[in-house]
Each structure stands twice: as structure tokens, then as C-alpha cells.
Amino acid sequence: MSIFHKILQWLDDAAYVWRYEFRQVLRDEGVLLFCIVVPLVYPLLYSWVYNNETIHEVPVVVVDQSRSQLSRQFIRMCDASADVRVACYAADLDDAQSLVSRQVVKGIYLIPEDFATNINRMQQGTVSVYCDMALMLTYKAIYQTAMAVSQKMGAAIQISLSGKYTSREELVTASPLAVDEVAMFNPQGGYGTAILPAVLMLIIQQTLALGIGLAAGTARESNRYGDLIPVHPCYRGLGRIVTGKALCYLMVYAVMAAYLSLVVPKMFHFIHIAAWQDILQLMIPYLLACVFFGLTVSCLVRYRENVILLVVFVSLPLLFLTGVSWPQSSIPGYLQGVSWLFPSTFGVRAYLRLNSMGGTIADVSLEMRCLWIQVAAYFGTACLVYGHQLRTTRQHASERLVYLRKKREVREAIKSKKLSTGQ
């Protein structure tokens, strides 16, 4: 056979593997759910929940044990803010906790009895803030309002005690440094803008691993010997198997990646600065690394349920290890080393720097190099584990063939013996 015919045969076998794997994706409800339905629907649901970046008029209850002019001023200033609304008063903390437990209010302002006394004695006054932590947006509104009011009241008290005579002197006394606070890369200061772009990138890796793992579990459960690779003439070469499987998932996730990285951010008005060409340059190594990572992990899956437990369990830790919600400088060294094993670590960081921070491809060159290293490394591990699976399949096929031959020989021996006895 000429080299040209060998190449055609290799391409034909790889195309058969691709077609077979794609049919399995469409036929298997679990794989179809995680590879197509979840990437389409889950980002919309998650983004819709956190689309309201800020929240206003959060109801709170006040326990005013001081009943002084200063405590009433604190309450009025909190009620006049845009984020908090004083819904009611309570006699003590137990009554206030009852209102929070019944979700009548979302937080408590407890002003102690010695609040005004301490301030008049030139001592520090305290206000206790209790928040319902079920929703971070309400906690942020209640806590930041109390902080802003306390700072404003403190500045007014400082001015009244300073003995200054001009407005300029009073301004310098209250605020020696003029601070203009600007939230970089997150103008709304909200959870969605900060976290959801990272979640979108993590969804690509996790759903890919889930889909490939479920397909592997189905292949093992439907095989007589629990083998991952079926006995078929087109599955006779390692390269065509890995290539065919990878092309199937790359074809599906090329569409999903464009949807998650380009369409969803614009639908929910997340920061979207990068050009599509830069996103494409990032997505090529990221998708390849995720696919080969999923193929490597799939060989460890014996049953369909295992991959769901494994992938879902590590999703939240992987989000923290990207350095989005947990500062990268505070992550211990050994955990940073663990994070380098996952494509999402470098993919999320590069995507945020490109799309949310206005960086260029040159600014994420380190992450791009790491992703290409992962592509090569996980391609090698996928070839190793599938090579082992291929040898195991051939061994089982050989043993089955020997068994059938022996069975046929025994059957023919019995038949010839009966014929000889009959003669």
C-alpha cells in the first residue's frame, strides 16, 4: 500500500471515530445535557441571577438602646441613604433576630446604651451590625451604609472639636487627603462583573470533562470486558482514535466557546473590551488543553456517576485557585502548583486580562505559553492512557478469539466422535 493510500486510510479511520463519537454525544442524554444544554442554559440562569449588580432599599431593623440625639441622627442618615431602609424598630436583639429569621428584614443595627455617652466623653462609640449572609448584595449594602454614615458623623464631630474657623480648614481637618475612589475594571462594583466572566470560562472546562467522562463511562458499561475502546477495524491506531475523539468535542465546543465568551457577556452587559481575534487566539489553546485534559481524565472513569461526583466537587476550589475571588498572592505555593495542572487556571486569568482589563495578547503571553504546554502535555498523557486502553482491548479480543477457537475445536471433536461412534 502506498503512502498516499495509508494517509487516506488514516483519515478515513479518524473520520469514522469522529462520526461515532458525535453520534454518541447526540444519543446519550447525559452527554447531550452536559455538552450542549448546560453550556447554553446555565450561563443565562447564573448571569440573570446576578445581573442586578447593586441593590437598594434593603430593609433593616434598629435596636436603639441609646435613645439619644446622636443615635437618632445615625438612624436618620442610614434611612436617608439609597441602599438601606429602616423598616422597623425592635425592643431588644431577640425581637430583631426574630424579624430576620422571618425574612421581614435583612439586617440589624444595634446601637448600645453607652453610644452617645462614649462620644461625649471623647471615647469611641460603637454600633453593631448584623447581616443576613444568604445574599452578598444585601450584606454589602447594609455594611457599607453603616460604614459611610459612621465616617460622615465622625468627620462632623471632628470638625466641631477642631476649633477651625474657615470651611477650608474644616475640610482639611475632616479629610486631609482627597481620595477619589474608582473601581478598576468593575465600574458597578458588583459580583457579576467580577466573578461571572471567570465562571463562564470554567464552565467550558467542567462541562467538557463531564461530557467526555460520561461518554467514557457509557462505553465501558456497554462493553463486555469494560473496555473503553471497542473492537473495530477503524480503532486500530492510537493517533486516529485520539484525533477523532478530539475533533468531535472541538467541533461542539467551538460553538459553545464563542457563545460563552462573546455572546453571553454582551447579553448581560459585562465588560467586553477584547476583539474577537484576541479571544480566538486564546480559545484555540484553551479548548485543545481542555479536550485533551478531559480525554486523559476519562480513562480513570469506570462508571458514569464517578465523573459527576469528581468534576462537580472540584468546581468551586478551581474557581478560587484561578485568583479571581481569592487573591493570587495569598494562595499558598503548593496550591498554586496544584492549580497549574488545570487549563482553567491560565484560561480564566488570560480571559479576564484580555476582556475585562483591556490587555493585549502580549500581556497574556505567559498564560498562552502555559496553555500550549498543557496542550502538549495532555496530548501526550491522552495518547499514553489510550495506548494502554488499546492494548487492553486487543488483549481481550485475542483472548476471546482463542476462546472461540477452542470452543469450535471442542465442538468439532465432539461432532467427529459422534460420527465415528455411529459408524
What value does the mean pLDDT take over residues 362-370? 91
Instruction: Check whether 104 has a pLDDT greater than 80.
Output: yes
Tell me which of 339 and 28 has the higher pLDDT. 339
Give the pLDDT band of residue 23 (cuts 50, 70, 90): confident
Mean of the per-residue pLDDT values for the chain?
82
Amino acid at 417: K
pLDDT digits (tens, 9 = 90+) for 323-357: 887 878 888 888 888 889 999 999 999 998 888 88
Which residues lie below 8 Å from residue 347, measured CB to CB, with a gap of 6+? 201, 204, 205, 282, 286, 289, 290, 367, 371
pLDDT value, residue 211: 86
pLDDT value, residue 343: 93
Instruction: Check whether 369 has a pLDDT greater than 60.
Output: yes
**Candidate from 158-172, 192-206, 397-411 with smallest mean pLDDT:** 158-172
Distance CA 217, CA 213 (A): 6
Distance CA 170, CA 29 (A): 70
pLDDT value, residue 22: 84
Q: HSE on the CB side for 165, CA within 13 Å?
A: 0
SS3 breakdown of the chain: % helix, strand, coil, rounded to 5? 70, 5, 25
Distance CA 189, CA 181 (A): 11
Coil vs helix vs strand at 186: coil
Question: Where would I find the H helices in 264-364?
Answer: 264-267, 276-298, 304-321, 333-339, 343-355
Report whether 390 contacts 310 (CB < 8 A): no
R_g of the chain computed on alpha carbons: 32
- DSSP string across 91-115: SSHHHHHHHHHTTS-SEEEEE-TTH
C-alpha cell at position 143: 455594611
What is the dihedral sign for C-alpha 220, 226, 227, 231? Answer: negative
Coil vs helix vs strand at 84: strand
Give the pLDDT band of residue 289 (cuts 50, 70, 90): very high
C-alpha cell at position 258: 464563542
Q: Does domain 59-174 have CATH number 3.90.1150.10?
A: no
C-alpha cell at position 414: 465432539
Amino acid at 196: L
Report whether 201 contacts 367 (CB < 8 A): no
pLDDT digits (tens, 9 = 90+) for 291-320: 999 888 887 777 777 777 777 788 888 888
pLDDT digits (tens, 9 = 90+) for 148-188: 888 888 877 777 766 666 666 666 666 666 666 666 777 66
Q: What angle do CA 293, 327, 346 make, to 5 degrees?
A: 25
pLDDT digits (tens, 9 = 90+) for 65-91: 888 888 889 889 988 988 899 988 988
Per-residue b or e along 276-286, where b marks 16 or more CB atoms closer than 10 Å to that residue's CB = eebbebbbbbb
pLDDT digits (tens, 9 = 90+) for 50-61: 666 677 888 999
pTM for the model: 0.75
Each domain of the chain, given as residue ranges in start order, spans 3-49+190-401, 59-174
- Which of 16-25, 106-115, 215-224, 389-398 holds the top average pLDDT? 106-115
Coil vs helix vs strand at 163: coil
Distance CA 403, CA 108 (A): 77
Q: Which of 61, 40, 39, 43 is nearest to 51 (CA)?
A: 43
**Candidate from 100-109, 129-138, 346-355 with smallest mean pLDDT:** 129-138
Amino acid at 244: G
Report whether 220 contacts 226 (CB < 8 A): yes
